[in-house]
Chains A and B, each alone.
Chain A
């Protein structure tokens, strides 16, 4: 610890500090008592980011550690920085332009990190100096960073291991992060596994409806928020960027699940981006205000929005059984209800939920080193039941049978757990009950 921490971190510069991720990440550094310079296109925008950081941590005391400036000060500020944290637009060309300026100004030992949620780390720094490349890596915080402690640390092949070790300890120590290291693969671990599920549900919504899919794969399947509500929250533009990138650059068993549904593309073209385009909406929209507000849902086949009540389909009985069991803390019983139910709807739900367990744990060896890495990023980053928590609640032996029947890959670690009669999830500090929600 002491040897690694001998590198000092007295001064952080955040680029793009006016945005949600920039100001939120800046808040994390400043909250740890590190002098943090918020830079944005103008000083006023950086000031807005600083105020946002205050409101996130609910304290003005944080501003003692924050300075602000415009990009006209970039070179001067970067020249003093021990860590430059880039949170500008998620666009390779824009990022490269910024990195070229940073490369000219940075101290030879300054670390440069990007908050990118899925662009190639190696590609982002390819045009920069050897020193820049050796000090470059990804620190993927999740929004809002002061609340969601899971984060991914992504080195590329040329990152100096000592830099990785320093950042790992910085994140896990003073910044209080739950750190998961991933390879420099598209969308890293969390978004790769998470958006596979989200996009699959979006695809299925075309046939089964938005309201039905969200009700079927709702919180009772191990998530705080229903899948399509989540996509509206994230923004359809961000969703498209992530799944397009995955569809173009991965070729695994889930390749088809990364194809953006055509109806989503049509609506994106018409300016429907989810919650950020409130008037147009996404999967859902609220018309009117106050007591007259009406919650509408999208009909993917027509592109129309209709009142939720009109679109609601009755749910199969096993969904209510799952919720009733979760409400009183019987999580295994809830999984029993899911596993033992018969009918097309039960098959559909198992395809999504077991597909998640399978796809997540099958990324071990490719994206992450250990099952616990997938578990931690899904639990601490997405607030979803980690694949191993679901696998344990289902039982490894039964899970293998169900995966076979659903023609899903059986992860090696599940086979091992079944053979040795072991639990997969081994995180005594994590209170796993919170992942089962009866909303």
Chain B
């Protein structure tokens, strides 16, 4: 980082909500998250210099583009606010803070409002699945395919199986841990749902196969949600901390970031990594880039990880790519309880995408907010004890765009 970037706080909508059933437009999601973030941080609208919105496909789901402009509608003081919208499939919610933090590092602005938003329950699961296919190379991998993404991430599991061996019971454990964690999170989509390892291992009418080795219990679920966070320069954060009677060091800070893009099709990714130790080397590179920028040696300098478990296979991949185990041996960390809530390096104390929910464009911002809550001791029921440093990994497509943040306090 060329200059420090602080996270003042933020607000997440309840990911269990169905905004279509509530009769609401996507602008209501944006408004609620922004008003919530301003209320929580006690920052006045006129103090915001710039707004960034992360969103995947509002044009498809909500027939609405130009989302940055909706920020201006939230408060009269936002009149004239420079805004924009960022898209990188499921990583959209990380590209927005990446851009906002770059502007703060460059000294352009002192306080940035970052919103991640997606409204997905506007359409049937089949149509929504087709829309999600545009995060892959649509014509090659998704057109005419029912639920393309479970199949692509099933292939990720198959690739692990081919190279190293993969026992699906380890995937079931990942699902069970995420659901169990979500029960502690009052904003998690699945907090009242029933799940355990036994159920996740069963194939039944209640846990059908969606594609390949992927069952319903292996999937994060479609939902609606918005998250807003405020990022600030050292100058702004110093004054902010002072007026709240707190030390600057008590605020969460971005310590490092990584950002890499792999070939779009899954087959091209696997072909490229054939003789390499990691199945998704660009994801690994995003992680090590972030470690280097944060000045940490490895994952053991972290107290927790919020990772992209769009499917259990993506979390299985994240475990070895973060370096919890040697490549291909993620199962060891699972069997040893390392990733459990009380484990040596808990993964997704929030419940992750599987437990907390995955409103696509909101996920990256949600991870960043959860990481900042964890390192400042504000995560409530899902607080990891004495957490000082967290990492996030947000992935767009089938491991295509990878964004990592290291957040500390």
Residues of chain A whose beta carbon lies under 8 Å from any beta carbon of chain B: 31, 54, 57-62, 64, 146-147, 149, 176, 219, 224, 323, 326-330, 429-431, 433-434, 436-439
Contact = CB atoms under 8 A, between A and B. Distances in A.
12 contacts: A59-B202, A60-B204, A60-B206, A323-B23, A326-B28, A328-B25, A329-B27, A329-B28, A329-B35, A433-B13, A433-B28, A439-B22
A329 B196 CA distance: 36
A323 B193 CA distance: 31
Contacts of B282: none
Given A328-B27, A329-B27, A431-B17, A62 B194 contact: yes
Contacts of B194: 31, 57-59, 61-62, 146
B24 A326 contact: yes
B186 interface: yes
B17 A326 contact: no
A431 B13 contact: yes
A434 B22 contact: yes
A176 B35 CA distance: 29
Nearest to A31: B194
Nearest to A427: B186
B183 A436 contact: no
B23 A219 contact: yes
Nearest to B12: A431
B103 interface: no
Given A54-B206, A437-B23, 4 more contacts: A176-B192, A326-B23, A329-B32, A429-B186
B104 to A, nearest CB: 27
A176 B21 CA distance: 25
A433 B16 CA distance: 12
Contact of A328 (B14, B28, B35, B186): B28
A430 B186 CA distance: 8
How many of chain B's residues touch chain A, expressed as a range?
20 to 34
A45 B384 CA distance: 45
A146 B198 CA distance: 19
B71 to A, nearest CB: 13
A439 B32 contact: no
Secondary structure of the A side of the interface?
A: loop
Nearest to B216: A58
3 residue pairs, one from A and one from B, having the closest CB atoms: A329-B28, A438-B23, A431-B14
A327 B196 CA distance: 37
Contact of A327 (B28, B186, B206): B28
Nearest to B22: A437
Contacts of A58: 194, 206
B207 A436 contact: no
B380 A61 contact: no
B121 interface: no
A438 B22 contact: yes
Nearest to A434: B17
Nearest to A224: B21
Interface string B200-244: 001010110000000000000000000000000000000000000
B31 A61 contact: no
B206 A329 contact: no
A149 B204 CA distance: 27
Contacts of A224: 21
Given A429-B380, A431-B17, A436 B22 contact: yes
Contacts of B206: 54, 58-60
B344 interface: no
A329 B14 contact: no
Interface in B81-101: none
Contact of B31 (A54, A147, A328): A328
Interface string B11-43: 001100100011111011111100100000000
Contacts of B187: 429, 431
A429 B378 CA distance: 12
B293 interface: no
B74 to A, nearest CB: 9
B260 interface: no
Nearest to B195: A59
Contacts of A433: 13, 17, 28, 32
B269 interface: no
A150 to B, nearest CB: 11
B199 A59 contact: yes
Contacts of B21: 224, 437, 439
B31 A64 contact: no
A327 B199 contact: no
A64 B22 contact: no
Nearest to B31: A329
Contacts of B22: 434, 436-439
Contact of B24 (A146, A329, A430): A329
A381 B207 CA distance: 29
Interface in B179-197: 183, 186-187, 191-196
Most buried by A among B183, B187, B196: B196
A317 B199 CA distance: 51
Contacts of B204: 59-60
A375 to B, nearest CB: 15
Contact of A61 (B35, B192, B199): B199
A218 to B, nearest CB: 10
A58 B29 CA distance: 29
Contacts of A64: 198
A439 B14 contact: no
B190 to A, nearest CB: 12
Given A60-B206, A146-B194, A429-B186, A329 B23 contact: no
Nearest to A433: B32
Contacts of B35: 329
A207 to B, nearest CB: 28
Nearest to B191: A176
A434 B186 CA distance: 14
Nearest to A57: B194
Contacts of A436: 22
B23 A327 contact: yes
A270 B29 CA distance: 47
- The listed residue with most A CB atoms (<10 A of its CB), out of B28, B195, B196, B207, is B28
Contacts of B183: 176
A58 B194 CA distance: 8
B376 to A, nearest CB: 15
Given A57-B194, A429-B380, A330 B31 contact: yes
A57 B195 CA distance: 9
Contacts of A219: 23
Contact of B29 (A326, A329, A430, A439): A329
A208 B183 CA distance: 45
B24 A149 contact: no
A146 B207 contact: no
A329 B35 CA distance: 10
Contacts of A438: 22-24
Given A62-B194, A429-B186, A327 B380 contact: no
Contacts of B17: 431, 433-434
A59 B204 CA distance: 8
Contacts of B191: 176
Contacts of A176: 183, 191-192
A174 to B, nearest CB: 10
B53 to A, nearest CB: 15
A59 B172 CA distance: 14
Nearest to A54: B206
A288 to B, nearest CB: 25
